[in-house]
Amino acid sequence: MQIQGHFELKFEAVREAFAALFDDPQERGGAVCIQIGGETVVDLWAGTADKDGTQVWHSDTIANLFSCTKTFTAVAALQLVGEGKLQLDAPVANLWPEFAAAGKSKITLRQLLCHQAGLPALHHMLPAEALYDWQAMTDALAAEEPWWTPGQGHGYAAMTYGWLVGEMLRRADGRGPGESIAARICQPLGLDFHVGLADEEFHRVAHIARGKGVAGDEAAQRLLQTTMREPTSMTARAFTNPPSIMTSTNKPEWRRMQQPAANGHGNARSLAGFYSGLLDGRLVEAELLSELTREHSVGPDKTLLTQTRFGLGCMLDQPQVPNATFGLGPKAFGHPGAGGSIGFADPEREVAFGFVTNTLGPYVLMDPRAQSLVKILANCL
Protein backbone atom coordinates (compact mmCIF):
# COMPACT_ATOMS: atom_id res chain seq x y z
CA MET A 1 0.00 0.00 0.00
CA GLN A 2 1.38 3.38 -1.02
CA ILE A 3 1.25 5.90 1.83
CA GLN A 4 1.10 9.53 0.67
CA GLY A 5 1.88 12.70 2.59
CA HIS A 6 4.60 13.64 5.04
CA PHE A 7 5.69 13.02 8.62
CA GLU A 8 8.50 14.12 10.89
CA LEU A 9 11.07 11.36 11.38
CA LYS A 10 10.36 11.24 15.10
CA PHE A 11 6.90 9.92 14.16
CA GLU A 12 7.94 7.28 11.64
CA ALA A 13 6.36 4.59 13.85
CA VAL A 14 2.97 6.31 13.38
CA ARG A 15 3.40 6.08 9.61
CA GLU A 16 4.20 2.37 9.95
CA ALA A 17 1.15 1.81 12.15
CA PHE A 18 -1.03 3.67 9.64
CA ALA A 19 0.37 1.55 6.79
CA ALA A 20 -0.30 -1.60 8.84
CA LEU A 21 -4.03 -0.79 8.92
CA PHE A 22 -4.10 -1.55 5.19
CA ASP A 23 -2.85 -5.10 5.77
CA ASP A 24 -6.54 -5.79 6.33
CA PRO A 25 -7.91 -6.47 2.81
CA GLN A 26 -11.20 -4.76 3.78
CA GLU A 27 -9.54 -1.45 4.61
CA ARG A 28 -10.25 0.87 1.67
CA GLY A 29 -9.09 4.42 2.31
CA GLY A 30 -8.22 6.82 5.08
CA ALA A 31 -6.11 9.64 6.44
CA VAL A 32 -4.46 10.71 9.68
CA CYS A 33 -3.23 14.16 10.72
CA ILE A 34 -1.48 15.09 13.95
CA GLN A 35 -0.60 18.60 15.07
CA ILE A 36 1.45 19.38 18.16
CA GLY A 37 1.49 22.93 19.47
CA GLY A 38 -0.15 23.93 16.19
CA GLU A 39 2.61 22.38 14.04
CA THR A 40 1.72 19.50 11.70
CA VAL A 41 3.98 16.52 12.47
CA VAL A 42 2.01 13.83 10.59
CA ASP A 43 -0.25 14.27 7.54
CA LEU A 44 -0.80 10.97 5.72
CA TRP A 45 -3.40 9.40 3.45
CA ALA A 46 -3.71 6.15 1.52
CA GLY A 47 -6.03 3.69 -0.19
CA THR A 48 -9.06 4.23 -2.37
CA ALA A 49 -12.00 6.60 -2.16
CA ASP A 50 -14.66 5.29 -4.55
CA LYS A 51 -17.14 2.44 -4.45
CA ASP A 52 -15.22 0.21 -6.84
CA GLY A 53 -11.76 0.76 -5.37
CA THR A 54 -10.38 2.30 -8.56
CA GLN A 55 -9.90 5.94 -7.51
CA VAL A 56 -7.04 6.71 -5.16
CA TRP A 57 -7.56 8.70 -1.98
CA HIS A 58 -6.12 12.16 -2.70
CA SER A 59 -4.73 14.93 -0.52
CA ASP A 60 -8.09 16.74 -0.85
CA THR A 61 -10.41 13.72 -0.46
CA ILE A 62 -13.10 14.40 2.13
CA ALA A 63 -15.50 12.03 3.86
CA ASN A 64 -18.65 12.11 5.94
CA LEU A 65 -17.36 12.42 9.51
CA PHE A 66 -20.70 11.71 11.21
CA SER A 67 -20.65 12.72 14.90
CA CYS A 68 -17.22 14.34 14.74
CA THR A 69 -19.46 17.23 13.57
CA LYS A 70 -21.10 17.66 16.99
CA THR A 71 -18.19 19.46 18.63
CA PHE A 72 -18.02 22.01 15.78
CA THR A 73 -21.71 22.70 16.43
CA ALA A 74 -21.17 23.07 20.18
CA VAL A 75 -18.31 25.52 19.60
CA ALA A 76 -20.48 27.66 17.29
CA ALA A 77 -23.14 27.68 20.05
CA LEU A 78 -20.55 28.66 22.67
CA GLN A 79 -19.33 31.52 20.47
CA LEU A 80 -22.93 32.78 20.42
CA VAL A 81 -23.01 32.43 24.22
CA GLY A 82 -19.85 34.56 24.35
CA GLU A 83 -21.60 37.19 22.20
CA GLY A 84 -24.66 37.19 24.45
CA LYS A 85 -26.94 35.81 21.71
CA LEU A 86 -27.47 32.47 23.47
CA GLN A 87 -27.51 31.55 27.16
CA LEU A 88 -26.49 28.10 28.38
CA ASP A 89 -28.94 28.07 31.27
CA ALA A 90 -31.91 29.93 29.81
CA PRO A 91 -34.90 27.86 28.65
CA VAL A 92 -34.68 26.87 24.98
CA ALA A 93 -38.32 27.98 24.70
CA ASN A 94 -37.30 31.64 25.26
CA LEU A 95 -35.90 31.61 21.72
CA TRP A 96 -38.04 28.77 20.33
CA PRO A 97 -41.52 29.18 21.90
CA GLU A 98 -43.07 26.05 20.31
CA PHE A 99 -40.45 23.95 22.10
CA ALA A 100 -42.18 24.49 25.46
CA ALA A 101 -44.87 21.90 24.53
CA ALA A 102 -45.21 18.57 26.36
CA GLY A 103 -43.37 19.55 29.51
CA LYS A 104 -40.23 21.01 27.91
CA SER A 105 -40.53 24.62 29.08
CA LYS A 106 -37.54 24.38 31.43
CA ILE A 107 -35.07 22.49 29.18
CA THR A 108 -31.90 24.54 28.63
CA LEU A 109 -29.30 24.76 25.87
CA ARG A 110 -26.80 23.24 28.32
CA GLN A 111 -29.04 20.15 28.66
CA LEU A 112 -29.28 19.83 24.86
CA LEU A 113 -25.48 20.02 24.56
CA CYS A 114 -24.73 17.41 27.26
CA HIS A 115 -27.48 14.96 26.22
CA GLN A 116 -29.66 15.43 29.32
CA ALA A 117 -32.77 16.86 27.65
CA GLY A 118 -34.52 13.50 27.21
CA LEU A 119 -34.91 13.93 23.44
CA PRO A 120 -32.56 11.45 21.71
CA ALA A 121 -35.37 10.05 19.58
CA LEU A 122 -38.88 10.66 18.29
CA HIS A 123 -41.66 8.40 19.61
CA HIS A 124 -43.80 8.36 16.45
CA MET A 125 -42.38 7.09 13.18
CA LEU A 126 -41.83 9.68 10.47
CA PRO A 127 -41.60 9.02 6.72
CA ALA A 128 -38.11 8.51 5.25
CA GLU A 129 -38.16 11.85 3.41
CA ALA A 130 -38.68 13.80 6.68
CA LEU A 131 -34.95 13.35 7.31
CA TYR A 132 -34.23 16.06 4.72
CA ASP A 133 -37.01 18.42 5.83
CA TRP A 134 -35.64 20.76 8.51
CA GLN A 135 -39.06 22.18 9.39
CA ALA A 136 -40.66 18.74 9.71
CA MET A 137 -37.91 17.55 12.05
CA THR A 138 -37.81 20.64 14.25
CA ASP A 139 -41.63 20.74 14.45
CA ALA A 140 -41.67 17.07 15.50
CA LEU A 141 -39.05 17.70 18.19
CA ALA A 142 -40.83 20.82 19.44
CA ALA A 143 -43.99 18.73 19.96
CA GLU A 144 -42.13 15.72 21.41
CA GLU A 145 -42.45 14.57 25.02
CA PRO A 146 -39.13 13.81 26.77
CA TRP A 147 -38.33 10.11 27.30
CA TRP A 148 -37.17 10.85 30.86
CA THR A 149 -37.19 13.78 33.26
CA PRO A 150 -34.77 16.31 31.72
CA GLY A 151 -31.64 16.74 33.80
CA GLN A 152 -31.94 13.31 35.43
CA GLY A 153 -29.44 11.15 33.61
CA HIS A 154 -28.27 11.32 30.01
CA GLY A 155 -28.82 9.56 26.70
CA TYR A 156 -26.86 10.31 23.56
CA ALA A 157 -28.86 12.28 20.99
CA ALA A 158 -27.16 10.78 17.92
CA MET A 159 -29.23 12.62 15.30
CA THR A 160 -31.70 14.84 17.18
CA TYR A 161 -28.80 16.90 18.57
CA GLY A 162 -28.39 18.33 15.06
CA TRP A 163 -31.93 19.66 14.79
CA LEU A 164 -32.14 20.76 18.43
CA VAL A 165 -28.84 22.63 18.68
CA GLY A 166 -28.96 23.55 14.98
CA GLU A 167 -32.32 25.27 15.41
CA MET A 168 -30.87 27.30 18.31
CA LEU A 169 -27.96 28.32 16.05
CA ARG A 170 -30.37 29.22 13.27
CA ARG A 171 -32.54 31.39 15.52
CA ALA A 172 -29.65 33.09 17.30
CA ASP A 173 -27.38 33.60 14.30
CA GLY A 174 -29.95 34.17 11.53
CA ARG A 175 -28.47 31.64 9.09
CA GLY A 176 -28.38 27.89 8.53
CA PRO A 177 -26.33 25.95 11.10
CA GLY A 178 -23.86 24.83 8.43
CA GLU A 179 -23.40 28.43 7.26
CA SER A 180 -22.88 29.47 10.86
CA ILE A 181 -20.20 26.80 11.41
CA ALA A 182 -18.50 27.72 8.11
CA ALA A 183 -18.38 31.44 8.89
CA ARG A 184 -17.41 31.08 12.54
CA ILE A 185 -15.00 28.15 12.49
CA CYS A 186 -14.01 26.78 9.08
CA GLN A 187 -13.32 29.98 7.14
CA PRO A 188 -11.32 31.73 9.92
CA LEU A 189 -9.14 28.63 10.44
CA GLY A 190 -9.01 27.63 6.75
CA LEU A 191 -10.54 24.20 7.43
CA ASP A 192 -11.77 21.99 4.60
CA PHE A 193 -14.90 21.07 6.56
CA HIS A 194 -18.52 21.46 5.41
CA VAL A 195 -21.92 20.99 7.01
CA GLY A 196 -24.05 21.17 3.90
CA LEU A 197 -21.79 20.33 0.97
CA ALA A 198 -21.94 22.18 -2.37
CA ASP A 199 -22.63 19.94 -5.37
CA GLU A 200 -19.36 20.96 -7.03
CA GLU A 201 -17.45 19.31 -4.14
CA PHE A 202 -19.16 15.91 -4.54
CA HIS A 203 -16.44 14.55 -6.85
CA ARG A 204 -13.92 14.45 -3.99
CA VAL A 205 -16.13 12.74 -1.37
CA ALA A 206 -15.10 9.23 -0.39
CA HIS A 207 -17.78 6.55 -0.72
CA ILE A 208 -18.58 5.10 2.71
CA ALA A 209 -19.16 1.37 3.16
CA ARG A 210 -19.24 -1.04 6.08
CA GLY A 211 -16.52 -3.56 6.76
CA LYS A 212 -17.90 -7.12 6.81
CA GLY A 213 -17.62 -9.91 9.31
CA VAL A 214 -16.46 -7.89 12.33
CA ALA A 215 -18.91 -8.18 15.23
CA GLY A 216 -17.43 -5.37 17.29
CA ASP A 217 -17.24 -5.24 21.07
CA GLU A 218 -19.95 -6.01 23.65
CA ALA A 219 -21.29 -2.45 23.54
CA ALA A 220 -21.68 -2.63 19.76
CA GLN A 221 -23.45 -5.99 19.91
CA ARG A 222 -25.79 -4.84 22.68
CA LEU A 223 -26.78 -1.78 20.66
CA LEU A 224 -27.40 -3.82 17.51
CA GLN A 225 -29.46 -6.47 19.35
CA THR A 226 -31.62 -3.85 21.06
CA THR A 227 -32.22 -1.99 17.82
CA MET A 228 -33.30 -5.20 16.07
CA ARG A 229 -35.29 -6.85 18.84
CA GLU A 230 -36.98 -3.81 20.35
CA PRO A 231 -37.89 -1.62 17.36
CA THR A 232 -40.05 0.75 19.44
CA SER A 233 -37.40 1.29 22.13
CA MET A 234 -35.79 4.70 22.53
CA THR A 235 -32.45 3.26 21.43
CA ALA A 236 -33.90 1.81 18.21
CA ARG A 237 -35.87 4.97 17.45
CA ALA A 238 -32.73 7.11 17.91
CA PHE A 239 -31.10 5.38 14.94
CA THR A 240 -34.09 4.37 12.79
CA ASN A 241 -36.56 7.27 12.93
CA PRO A 242 -36.82 8.51 10.21
CA PRO A 243 -35.91 5.12 8.70
CA SER A 244 -33.60 6.79 6.16
CA ILE A 245 -30.99 7.66 8.83
CA MET A 246 -29.03 4.45 8.40
CA THR A 247 -29.07 4.33 4.60
CA SER A 248 -28.49 7.90 3.48
CA THR A 249 -24.74 8.50 3.89
CA ASN A 250 -23.78 8.43 0.19
CA LYS A 251 -26.89 10.21 -1.10
CA PRO A 252 -26.77 13.71 -2.59
CA GLU A 253 -29.62 14.91 -0.32
CA TRP A 254 -27.66 13.85 2.75
CA ARG A 255 -24.52 15.65 1.61
CA ARG A 256 -26.43 18.84 0.82
CA MET A 257 -28.39 19.20 4.02
CA GLN A 258 -27.09 21.09 7.05
CA GLN A 259 -27.46 18.42 9.75
CA PRO A 260 -24.88 19.51 12.33
CA ALA A 261 -24.99 16.29 14.37
CA ALA A 262 -23.92 13.92 11.66
CA ASN A 263 -23.23 15.17 8.16
CA GLY A 264 -20.07 17.23 8.42
CA HIS A 265 -17.73 16.38 5.53
CA GLY A 266 -14.02 16.95 5.96
CA ASN A 267 -10.57 15.40 6.14
CA ALA A 268 -8.15 14.47 8.93
CA ARG A 269 -6.43 17.84 8.50
CA SER A 270 -9.68 19.70 9.22
CA LEU A 271 -10.21 17.71 12.43
CA ALA A 272 -6.67 18.31 13.70
CA GLY A 273 -6.88 21.98 12.68
CA PHE A 274 -10.14 22.44 14.55
CA TYR A 275 -8.74 21.00 17.78
CA SER A 276 -5.54 23.06 17.41
CA GLY A 277 -7.78 26.12 17.11
CA LEU A 278 -9.52 25.16 20.35
CA LEU A 279 -6.24 24.56 22.19
CA ASP A 280 -4.66 27.87 21.16
CA GLY A 281 -7.68 30.03 21.94
CA ARG A 282 -8.59 31.04 18.39
CA LEU A 283 -12.16 29.72 18.62
CA VAL A 284 -13.40 30.40 22.15
CA GLU A 285 -12.18 32.17 25.28
CA ALA A 286 -10.58 30.02 27.99
CA GLU A 287 -13.67 30.30 30.20
CA LEU A 288 -15.95 28.88 27.49
CA LEU A 289 -13.43 26.19 26.60
CA SER A 290 -13.49 25.04 30.22
CA GLU A 291 -17.32 24.86 30.04
CA LEU A 292 -17.02 22.79 26.85
CA THR A 293 -14.57 20.34 28.40
CA ARG A 294 -15.93 20.17 31.96
CA GLU A 295 -17.70 16.95 32.93
CA HIS A 296 -21.46 17.40 32.62
CA SER A 297 -22.75 13.85 32.13
CA VAL A 298 -21.17 10.56 33.17
CA GLY A 299 -22.38 6.99 33.67
CA PRO A 300 -24.79 4.62 31.93
CA ASP A 301 -26.00 6.12 28.66
CA LYS A 302 -29.74 5.58 28.16
CA THR A 303 -29.34 5.51 24.37
CA LEU A 304 -26.01 3.82 23.74
CA LEU A 305 -26.37 1.32 26.63
CA THR A 306 -22.71 1.77 27.58
CA GLN A 307 -20.73 4.13 29.85
CA THR A 308 -20.35 7.61 28.36
CA ARG A 309 -18.91 10.85 29.66
CA PHE A 310 -19.70 14.20 28.07
CA GLY A 311 -18.80 17.84 28.29
CA LEU A 312 -20.85 20.17 26.07
CA GLY A 313 -21.06 18.51 22.67
CA CYS A 314 -17.82 16.65 23.19
CA MET A 315 -16.91 13.28 24.63
CA LEU A 316 -14.51 13.21 27.56
CA ASP A 317 -11.91 10.54 28.17
CA GLN A 318 -12.65 7.51 30.33
CA PRO A 319 -9.14 6.07 30.80
CA GLN A 320 -10.43 2.94 32.58
CA VAL A 321 -13.02 2.10 29.92
CA PRO A 322 -11.36 0.43 26.90
CA ASN A 323 -13.97 1.51 24.33
CA ALA A 324 -14.16 5.05 25.72
CA THR A 325 -10.58 6.31 25.91
CA PHE A 326 -8.87 8.38 23.24
CA GLY A 327 -5.63 6.79 24.43
CA LEU A 328 -3.54 9.80 25.50
CA GLY A 329 -4.01 11.86 28.67
CA PRO A 330 -7.05 11.77 30.97
CA LYS A 331 -7.94 15.38 30.05
CA ALA A 332 -8.41 14.52 26.36
CA PHE A 333 -11.67 15.64 24.75
CA GLY A 334 -13.15 15.30 21.28
CA HIS A 335 -15.67 13.20 19.39
CA PRO A 336 -15.72 9.92 17.50
CA GLY A 337 -17.90 9.55 14.44
CA ALA A 338 -19.87 6.43 13.54
CA GLY A 339 -17.67 3.80 11.96
CA GLY A 340 -14.26 5.03 13.02
CA SER A 341 -13.42 8.64 12.15
CA ILE A 342 -12.33 10.69 15.16
CA GLY A 343 -11.05 14.10 16.18
CA PHE A 344 -9.72 15.00 19.60
CA ALA A 345 -7.28 17.12 21.59
CA ASP A 346 -5.00 16.36 24.51
CA PRO A 347 -4.42 19.73 26.17
CA GLU A 348 -1.61 18.42 28.39
CA ARG A 349 0.53 17.48 25.39
CA GLU A 350 -0.91 20.14 23.03
CA VAL A 351 -1.84 17.34 20.63
CA ALA A 352 -4.63 17.69 18.06
CA PHE A 353 -5.50 14.46 16.27
CA GLY A 354 -7.68 13.60 13.28
CA PHE A 355 -8.35 10.19 11.73
CA VAL A 356 -10.73 9.61 8.83
CA THR A 357 -11.85 6.34 7.24
CA ASN A 358 -14.37 5.28 4.59
CA THR A 359 -14.46 1.68 5.90
CA LEU A 360 -17.02 1.71 8.69
CA GLY A 361 -16.22 -0.40 11.72
CA PRO A 362 -18.98 -1.66 14.06
CA TYR A 363 -17.83 0.07 17.26
CA VAL A 364 -20.04 2.40 19.29
CA LEU A 365 -17.49 4.82 20.79
CA MET A 366 -13.78 4.67 19.97
CA ASP A 367 -12.52 2.64 17.02
CA PRO A 368 -9.52 0.35 17.66
CA ARG A 369 -7.83 1.57 14.46
CA ALA A 370 -7.57 5.14 15.72
CA GLN A 371 -6.67 3.91 19.20
CA SER A 372 -3.82 1.83 17.74
CA LEU A 373 -2.39 4.94 16.06
CA VAL A 374 -2.68 7.00 19.25
CA LYS A 375 -0.91 4.30 21.25
CA ILE A 376 2.08 4.52 18.88
CA LEU A 377 1.90 8.34 18.94
CA ALA A 378 2.12 8.27 22.76
CA ASN A 379 5.36 6.28 22.51
CA CYS A 380 6.81 8.87 20.11
CA LEU A 381 6.08 11.88 22.31
**Is the per-residue pLDDT at 215 higher than 80?**
no
Under 8 Å between Cβ of 326 and 366: yes
Under 8 Å between Cβ of 65 and 341: yes
Burial classification of residue 197, based on how many CB atoms lie within 10 Å of its CB (0-12 exposed, 13-18 middle, 19 or more buried)? buried
Rg from Cα positions in the chain: 19
Please state whether beta strands 209-210 and 359-360 pair in parallel, antiparallel, or not at all (unpaired): parallel
* Overall number of domains in the chain: 1
Q: Is residue 170 part of a domain?
A: no
User: Which pLDDT does position 295 carry in this prediction?
Assistant: 98
Q: Is residue 171 part of a domain?
A: no
**Predicted confidence band at 346 (pLDDT cuts at 50, 70, 90)?**
very high
**Is the per-residue pLDDT at 164 higher than 90?**
yes
The residue-averaged pLDDT of 191-199 equals: 98
What are the tens digits of pLDDT across the range 287-329?
Answer: 999 999 999 999 999 999 999 999 999 999 999 999 999 999 9
Q: Is residue 189 part of a domain?
A: yes
Planar angle of CA 206, 210, 215, nearest 5 degrees: 150
Q: Is residue 105 part of a domain?
A: no
Q: Where residue 238 sits, what CATH number does that domain have? A: 3.40.710.10
Count of other CB atoms within 10 angstroms of residue 321: 15
Count of other CB atoms within 10 angstroms of residue 272: 29
**Is the per-residue pLDDT at 213 higher than 80?**
no
What are the tens digits of pLDDT across the range 38-75?
Answer: 999 999 999 999 999 999 999 999 999 999 999 999 99
Range of the domain at 67: 3-71+181-380
The residue-averaged pLDDT of 234-261 equals: 95
Contacts of 31 (CB under 8 A, 6+ apart): 5, 44, 45, 46, 57, 61, 267, 268, 269, 354, 355, 356
Q: d(Cα 89, Cα 336) in Å, to the nearest integer?
A: 26
Q: 119 in helix, strand or coil?
A: coil
pTM, rounded to two decimals: 0.98
Q: d(Cα 32, Cα 16) in Å, to the nearest integer?
A: 12
Give Cα 253 distance to the centre of its chain.
19
Q: Is residue 41 part of a domain?
A: yes
**In Å, how far are 10, 56, 152 from 272, measured between CA atoms?**
18, 22, 34
Give Cα 348 distance to the centre of its chain.
22
Under 8 Å between Cβ of 176 and 163: no
* Signed CA dihedral, 319, 161, 159, 148: sign only: positive
Question: Strands of 29-36's sheet, edge to edge?
Answer: 3-7, 39-47, 29-36, 351-357, 342-346, 333-336, 315-316, 307-310, 297-300
Q: Is residue 89 part of a domain?
A: no
The alpha helices in 120-231, defined as continuous H runs, are: 134-143, 160-173, 177-181, 187-189, 218-229
Q: Is residue 245 part of a domain?
A: yes
Q: What is the mean pLDDT of the chain?
A: 96
Q: Is residue 113 part of a domain?
A: no
